[in-house]
Structure formats: C-alpha cells, structure tokens
Structure 1
Amino acid sequence: MPNYRRAFVAGGTWFFTVNLLQRRGNDLLVREIETLRHVVWQVRKRHPFTIDAWVVLPEHLHAVLTLPPDDADFSLRWRLIKSGFSRALPKTEHLSVVRQKTGERGIWQRHYWEHLIRDELDYQRHVDYVHVNPFKHGLVKRVSDWPYSTFHRAVAAGIYPADWCGDMTADAADD
C-alpha cells in the first residue's frame, strides 16, 4: 500500500476530489444533495472552513476549501462529511467482504485527492476547474445550467459573467 503524504499547512487552501466507490451510473450525490448540504453545514458549524468553490456531480465532487489560520486538519472535515453522509442513508449498498469485516459502508472511496494551492494562479486554475466540471463531463450545455455549484455565487459576486465558458448549443449551431 502506498505511503500517502499529506501537506498540512495551517490556514491553507486545498483543492479536493472526492469520489463515490461505485461511480458508473451512480447519481447518489445529486439525488441526496440536501443530505450532503446538511452534513457539510453541520461539519462547518463545528469545524469551520471556507468554501471557495464547490461542485457536486452525480458520483464525485470537487472543492476548493480554506481552513482557519490556526488549523490544518482537513482530514477531520472530510472524515466527518463522508461518515455523516453515509450514516444519514439507509444501508442498501453492496458491501465487499473486506468492508463487511471492517464495518465500513460501501459509499465512498477510502481516499481522496488533495492538492495544496501554491499561489493565486494555481488558485484560479483550480476554482475554474471546479466550475467548468459539469460542462466538461457533458452534463450541461452551459456552466450556468448546473445547479449544484458555487458558480452561481461567483456570478452574483461579479467574479464570472453568467455566460462564462461559452454555450455548447451556440457553438454547435455555428458548425
């Protein structure tokens, strides 16, 4: 098993990708979006963090999060989000023998991808990546059409124009 090294920087900003265990044809995250929102709200209340950017897709999510200046424990927050979400759902998923033995649910992949943001350009690239993701995966024709994203908050704040990243329907008509 690989030796995962995590960069713990108090007050740091990270990009994350968190996946469901079963990704193919799974829409659990958008189907249970209110449950996920509630769990994130509860975790933020007890263990604050800033959501710089967030998008929830059917079977994975991306986020750019910033922790308080004296805190570097993003692992605690993801553990609480993943376990809280899992506990809120009925136990209907298939469990492998290994997960049965360890008492784990079969909802999330055990690990997640994290990247410590290095500078403003790195930050902007990752925030853009978060917001463009539903468009990139072909889930919408326009970034603004995806409802489970902080893109709408960023448009309201004047960070992006509402038509940012174009319109697939207009592009197709031009061909």
Structure 2
Amino acid sequence: MVQYRRNRVMGGSYFFTVTLRDRKSTVLIDHLEFLREAVRKTREARPFTIEAWVVLPEHMHALWTLPPDDADYSSRWRSIKSHFTHQLAKQIPINRNTKGEYALWQRRFWEHTLRDDVDFSRHIDYIHYNPVKHGHVKQVKDWPYSSFHRFVAKTVYPLNWGCANNDTFDQYQFGE
C-alpha cells in the first residue's frame, strides 16, 4: 500500500479539497444538513477552527486551524465523511465497492499546509471565489454555501467582492 506523506504542524492551518467519487453528483448541497451535523459532531469530539469553507455540489474546500497541541486533521476528515455517509445512507441508496465500503467519497483528500499570512489570505480568496470559477454563479455573493457571507458580515470583504464590476478585484491572484 502506498504510504502518503502528509505535512503535519501542531496547531497549523491547512487548506483542504475533499471530493465525491461521482463528480456529477449534487449530494453535498442536496443534503447540506447532514454535512453540517457531521462537522458539528466531529468538532465536539476533536475541536478545530473553521477559518473558511465552501461547499459545492460534488466537492468542498476548507481552511482549518488545529489546536496548538494537535496536527491530526486526517481523523477529523474521516469522521466528517463517515458521519455524513451514514446519515445519507439512511435516506438514499449508496453503492458499495468490492470491499463492501460505501463508494461515496474519493479515498483521499488534498491538503496544503499554509506557510504565512499571504498564503492564508490567498487560500481564503480561492475558497470564496470557487463557485464562480466552476460556473455555479456569476457573483461570489450569490453562492449560499460559503463562509463568504460571514466575512462580509465582519466587513472583511465588501458584498461585491469578486464581481467583474469591482475595480479592486483585478489585484487578487488566486491559486492552490
């Protein structure tokens, strides 16, 4: 079995991409209440700070900061995926793989350890702009499944951030 090397920093901040196996699925936004419950239960057992999050139909991006004495994000993702899957399986049939496991998620997730404040800010921008990038909406403010609205309420972003008619938008550079 391939041993994946993951960077682990105690109390670090991390950017994640987590994807469903079926890239045409809409199950994440169709059953957002199960995802919210899975995150809530996981955070009760293993706390972490959600810095930013966006949920798209078949994948999501998140930026977390872990507690100072902790670098174990993998068990948190395993818990979120497991809670969500088991709740969903009570509502709709989910295919199983040859090992009998639910075949809902891609097996792994993509992780990036954030290096500094600029890296942190760019990934938050990337998260919030992602629904526009994928063509789900024309303006960031129109995607309801995003922490963007929390950032607007805290006046971190103006409501028209990410819009073509926002003169300051050209200064932003996005990328994973």
Residues 11-160 of structure 1 correspond to what in structure 2 (within 5 A)?
A: 11-24=11-24, 26-90=25-89, 92-95=93-96, 99-101=97-99, 103-160=100-157
- Shift >4 Å, 4+ stretches: none
Structure 1: gaps spanning 5 or more residues: 169-175
Q: Who is 1:8 aligned against?
A: 8
In structure 2, C-alpha distance between the alignment counterparts of 1:146 and 1:9, rounded to whole Å: 32
Structure 2: gaps spanning 5 or more residues: 166-176
Once the two structures are TM-superposed, the CA of residue 93 in structure 1 deviates from its matched residue by 2.4
In structure 2, C-alpha distance between the alignment counterparts of 1:138 and 1:57, rounded to whole Å: 11
In structure 2, C-alpha distance between the alignment counterparts of 1:6 and 1:150, rounded to whole Å: 26
Deviation per residue, 1:9-41 (Å, 9 max, x gap)? 1100000000001112x1000000011001101
Matched residue SS, 2:129: helix
Q: Provide the TM-score with structure 2 as the length reference.
A: 0.89
Once the two structures are TM-superposed, the CA of residue 2 in structure 1 deviates from its matched residue by 4.4
Matched residue SS, 2:76: helix
One-letter identity of the residue aligned with 1:118:
R
The percentage of aligned residue pairs carrying the same residue is 54
In structure 1, C-alpha distance between the alignment counterparts of 2:164 and 2:30, rounded to whole Å: 26
One-letter identity of the residue aligned with 1:49:
F
In structure 2, C-alpha distance between the alignment counterparts of 1:94 and 1:39, rounded to whole Å: 20
Matched residue SS, 1:100: coil
In structure 2, C-alpha distance between the alignment counterparts of 1:2 and 1:43, rounded to whole Å: 27
